[in-house]
Structure 1
Amino acid sequence: MCKKLVTTIFIVGAAFYMIEVKAEIPGLQPEKNWDLTGYVKYMVTGGIPDHGDNTLDHLVHQRFNYEYRFSSSFRFNAGMRNRVLAGDSLSAPYYSEIIAADNGYFDLSRNIVDNDNMIINSQFDRLYFDWKGTEWSSRIGRYRVNWAMNTVWNPNDLYNSYSIYDFDYEERPGTDAVSVSRTLGYASSLDFVYSPNKDSNLQRYSARYLFNYDGWDIQALLGRSGLDYVIGGGFAGDIKGAGFRGEFTWFDPWMSEYKGQSFQPTLVSSIETDYSFGGRRNWMMRAALLYISEPQQAVDAAVYLTLPLTARTLSFTKFTGYADLGFDITSLSRFTMSGSYYQDGSFFVGLSNSYSLSDDWQLLTVLQRFDGSSGSLFGETPSTLLFANIKWSF
């Protein structure tokens, strides 16, 4: 069914394009109704566990971003990511299933090749129609519902949460949904979103009221997120030159148990700040604190770092802290140090350097260390990961 859906959408888009094609005037290039951009990345990953064999993995990650504009108010967008994976991780249990997993209503992910030597996966993570009027707007399909105020942890992100350690997926995941928005004035709107699920117990819907007060963006939201009724809010502003943001969401389960797992009412909240020192090196510092009143325990570090997160499961301990510091080595090179600490004694340390090789080429090198005290989640399987990533954009 999903293949027919994708094929139909592209046929419709192509038909509109053919209808609107006009003869070119010599010496004058007409304005395009469409854009096609993307990139190709190659990344090599070295895993160095303290207890176990070292691993080496390769990833070729290619992306298309396509937009067709039927008019100034109506457009179609599609984003497709293609990945070729090879290396030692292919032998890990359920690795193939994790790569092919698609949490949307429509399964738009396929492992085209899946064997002991290679996995080739294709997935549409953006596929939607967008309409914007003077005061009303609407969107339907697969897209990112971006209600976040924070930049690290987002308790208000009820639809497409992500791991702070996944640096190779800058677009972030999308969700299958339909939304309607009404502009109410300056920096003020009312938004409604409905996201279906084949399991009716897991459907999601919510409303958000966003407004600005004395230079502060403030939002309030309520609805249902799967097994929980939710109410939350967020804010973002500035205090003496420092950015200051916060989000909170209260999760109240309407089912106390589901598929053998029990759920309790839970408060998830996060607050963060950042400050740019400017200057020739463009120093910037950021810090964040996350609180979960009833965290769900992770089975092990590999599961926690691999499986998709939700706004309920952003961490496995009550309190989690994060900080990073970045500066420009040169105008073409930026260095960032980051770290997080969990209440059970687990910690993460990261170092990264991005270097602009040219207008279209970028080199990124990353070191990640997961460790902790005896008995902590990361401390049970301490390891170091090394990444080298080269990217060409078009």
Structure 2
Amino acid sequence: DRGRLPGAVVPAAAPEAARPGPLDLVRAAFGELLGSVPPADGDFFALGGHSLVAVQLAERLRTRVGVPLTGLDILEHRTPRALATLLASREEERRAALTHTGAPLSGEPRTGTVLLTGATGGVGAAVLQELMAQGRPVRVLVRPESAHLPALHGAEIAEGDLADLDSLQRAVKGVDAVIHAACTFTEHETDVAAMRALLDGWSGGPFVFVSSIDAYGRPPGTEVTEGGPSGAPVSAYGQAKLDCERMLFETAAATGHGPATVVRAPIVWGPHHRLRDQLRWGSTGDLYQAALAGRPIVLPAGGEGEWNGAAWVHSAALARALAVCALPDGPAAGRIVNAITGHVSWAEFGTELIRLLGSAGTVELSPDADPELRRPWHYRAETLAAALRPEPGEDWRSVLAAMVG
């Protein structure tokens, strides 16, 4: 081996192919969905992106990188450089938090175990906190890349996904109650198939489905009773909720399992980062972005006494209500009920946004406003009124300030 002789020149080994960094991965994924690889500071919207592409991009990157990511994250971090930085920070958080994971799924669950889906979302996180504060054993269905999150500490971990029907069957096996709060929001066939899988594995005990007031569509009149008729048109999202509700009640009637409860919720407000993102980019996103940019917030001009606005619920109040419904003798067993903290007019909402953001924007009334803002409905919520009663700091101005801040 002449290379071992003194003074010999040893040829350098051929370098291994460099593993793409986060920025390269993000730029490549942008290019796959938007048609061309953008510069590091190319803006998602300027490149032709929109909300559906944001969901697709998040799913692609989540799978490749193995850290939590949502479409709303894409909308908040719109350039490849900003998104790569976010992915790197979440990978670091994941490594640092691995010692805080819950117990993996193993054998039979403890007596009284509640299966909770969607535990890392804004609603599910509040429900998990409420159940664990009550000392109830919880099994959470979470994607593998989210199973490390410290918020899950103390829960039993069932790794899975709404699109993985086998994982749903494993997760629901042997539990004594189910709170199904997970939803794709955009892949309605997946949501319906996931409900079918959970019901096929449901062996009894309370099953609580977190539905939406979108299931009411555009109901007649302005006072909406709990479980009242739906009015046309009903959105695809609302129809998927109706389909899941029907499947739940049909299964409960056919098998004798139960009780089954449907809780229809409106906009959910709370301090969780997912709920903050919904405020900025969800159903109230256009109003928020207008206030942030100092543009006029244009609202529908109504007749005298006409009200347009939104029903809302605080995430902590919704969690209390869902926990009560997951008891064998819950007050809403076998029924469709609403979970409403209150109602706020768009004019009040817009004015408060402008104040909180220090915006130069104004609230203007116009017949040309987005017709979707014509929402005159007040939703009744008597059944769960006790659990939904606001606690200190749960008024709409306080929670909105926390979300904006």
Structure with greater Cα Rg: 2
Work out whether the TM-score is over 0.5: no
- TM normalised by structure 2 equals 0.29
The structure carrying a bigger helix percent of its residues is 2
- TM normalised by structure 1 equals 0.29
The structure carrying a bigger strand percent of its residues is 1
